[in-house]
Homo-oligomer: A and B are copies of this chain.
Amino acid sequence: MGKIICAGLGPGAPDLISVRADRLIRSSRHVAYFRKKGKLGNARRIVKDMLPANCIEYAMEYPFTTELPFDSPEYIARLAAFYDDWTERLADLAGSTDVVVLCEGDPLFYGSFMHLYIRLQGRVEVEIIPGVPGMVGCWNVTNLPMTWGDDVLAVLMGTLAEDDLVHHMYGADALVIMKTGCNLPKVRRALERAGRLEDAWLVERGTMPGERIARLAEVEAADCPYFATVLVAGHGRRPEAAE
C-alpha cells in the first residue's frame, strides 16, 4: 500500500524547494504534475535536473485552457471530470506504490492539487509538503519588506470585479494581486482609484529564468504578462518612526 505525497515546489528556483521535498523528489519513482496541453509545464521545468532517470512521469494535462468561459456549466463539468479521472488513476497507482505530485508554490494556496486532495479523502493516505508561495518569492526578489507591525495583507485575484478590487485595496495595508494576465489594465485602474499605483510592483517569473521586476506605473498598458504578480508593501508601525 503506497501513499500520495504532494510536494510544494516553491516559487520557481529549484534550490528554494524545501530539504524534505528535495529529498523526496530525487528518490521518487512515480511523479505526476499538472500542465497545459502542448507545454512542458512549469512544475516539470523546476525539477528538470532532479528526477531520477528511471522515474515514471504522469503529465496531468488540463483538457482546455481558454476556449470556454470559467463559469460556464460545460467548463465546470469538464474540469470536474478531469479531476475525477486523475483521482482514480492516482488512487489506483497508490494502491501499490508511492506517488509524488508536484505543485508549484504551496499546494494548499490556490493550488490545483486541492481538487484531487478533497476527492482522495478517505481513499488513500495523502501527505503534503508545504512550499514557499510564489508571492513570497516575488516580494523577496523585489527586496520589498512586505508587512510590518499590525499591517493587514490582502491577497486578491485579478479576476475580481474592478469595484471589488478597489474596495479591498482601500481596506488593506499590503496587497498581493495574482492571476493578473489580461486583467492587468483593470488591476492598474483599481490601484490608481485606490491611490496605490505609485507603490505597486509587477513581478514576472519571480526567482526563475526570465525574471522581470518593474514599477507597474511604468509598464505599458497593453503588456499582459501571464505569470505576473502585483505587490504593494505595507507601512505599519515601525520603531524608526520615532527617530
Q: Which residues does A use to contact B, with CB under 8 Å?
A: 8, 10-11, 13-20, 22-23, 70-71, 73, 76-77, 79-80, 83, 106-111, 114-115, 117-119, 128-133, 136-137, 139-140, 143-157, 159-160, 167-168, 171-172, 207, 237-243
Q: Check if A71 sits within 8 Å of B237, measured CB to CB.
A: yes
Q: How far is the CA of A160 from the CA of B137 in the complex (A)?
A: 27
Closest to A174 in B: B155
Closest to A18 in B: B16
Q: How far is the CA of A132 from the CA of B18 in the complex (A)?
A: 9
Number of this chain's copies in the complex: 2
Q: Contact partner of A10 among B15, B18, B118, B160, CB < 8 A?
A: B18
Q: Contacts A153-B154, A154-B154 given; indicate if A146 touches B16 (C-beta within 8 A).
A: no
Closest to A121 in B: B143
| Closest chain B CB from A148 CB (angstroms) | 7
| Closest chain B CB from A229 CB (angstroms) | 13
Q: Check if A145 sits within 8 Å of B114, measured CB to CB.
A: yes
Q: How far is the CA of A155 from the CA of B8 in the complex (A)?
A: 21
Q: Contact partner of A109 among B129, B147, B154, CB < 8 A?
A: B147
| Closest chain B CB from A64 CB (angstroms) | 12
Closest to A154 in B: B154
Q: How far is the CA of A108 from the CA of B133 in the complex (A)?
A: 13
Q: How far is the CA of A153 from the CA of B150 in the complex (A)?
A: 16
A sample of 6 inter-chain contacts (CB < 8 A) reads: A111-B145, A129-B140, A130-B136, A150-B159, A153-B155, A167-B171
Q: How far is the CA of A152 from the CA of B154 in the complex (A)?
A: 7
